Structure 1
Amino acid sequence: MSAKEKSVVPENVMYEMVTGWPRFGYTRADPVALAQAHQNKAPTPPRAQVEGVPPTLEKLIMPLLAKDPQHRPRNARAVAHAIKEIERDLDASGVEQRAHDPAPGPGASMSGNGFADQVSAVELTVRRLIRKHGQDHALVITARMELADLTGHGGDVRGAAELYDRLGRDCSIWFGPRHSRTLDAFEGMARRVSA
């Protein structure tokens, strides 16, 4: 990997984490069209891809992806300042509240502390996202990973491993056996089985 490629990886990862999609499509897309898009197009703003992206987060991501270095943040300190601003906005809006809730430990009761409600909510989210986006959409895959993880935290190791395995097989069909989503799912399964 060249020095130039290394310098853009964090921005690409941030964009994909927020939207669930790479900036210009998956690597299985036409390589010439993909290269031209990287060279000539600006990525779709995250808020146009996914509902609920805070404006301050988009205000950080888009300049990080700017083709012209003059339009990028001046330095890491400017990026750190922008991240603090985003954290303040999230805290103020209550969006981040779930992130501060402690994750249930292994063997936690599925019925305690509304944990069963949490699993049911994620199952409903998976179904809703499938209807809206289709089974192979990144948001669906992320929600399925969360469901498998919650199942494992509830003490159902076998159930979690089966959910991860099914997701890994699906991702292998959709994206290929070496795609990061496929590998993440099988890694989750291995983690649950070894636990």
Structure 2
Amino acid sequence: MTILPAIDLKDGKAVRLSKGLMDSAKIYSDEPWQVAKKFEKLGSEWVHLVDLNGAFAGKPENLEQIKKIRQNCNLKLELGGGIRDEETIKMYLELGIDRLILGSIAVKDAQFVKDMAAKYPIVVGIDAIDGMVAVEGWAETSDMKATDLAREFAACGVQAIICTDVGRDGMMTGVNIEFTKAIQEASGLETIASGGLKDMTDINALIEA
């Protein structure tokens, strides 16, 4: 199992949200690259980055901090938040990001995601509230089931799916194992559990699932 520590970026800072609410942001560092460096020193291979402002704006909003992380760390980086077109994908890959997460656009234009996955290292982000896909930085809930969206991307070149139970995100109340298993079974893809991870009990439960 690979553990991906996460850094959420808001207004240039490393933060943690509770249940995806922007006004709940707790600031952990004014220099997110230093957080990434700490993860690297602790032995992490990957770091999961989210441009929270970008997720709402639909375009990159924390680019300078992302550049600093890339310049100062040798970690593999995956990044999501505000990636809606091929130019942004190419820009981030040229910057040295290892793979990109497509979330909201996966609901609105599945064919675009499939086309991009055929050309670039793409992960699909599926964020859900009560089993229904949340989009636009979790500000809206769609009428699509998360498992139906996962099934849409089976065998199309997507590298993995990262699934987040929004209601548990940032709460450290435990990962939603059943939700994660349902996404994996629907897609047949490598599935990354996100949202609510508390301790080794969760990690062991995921290993056994």
TM bucket, shorter chain: under 0.3
Greater per-residue strand proportion: 2
The answer to which structure, 1 or 2, has the higher relative contact order (CA under 8 A, 6+ apart) is: 2
After TM superposition, the score normalised by the length of structure 1 is 0.26
Greater per-residue helix proportion: 1
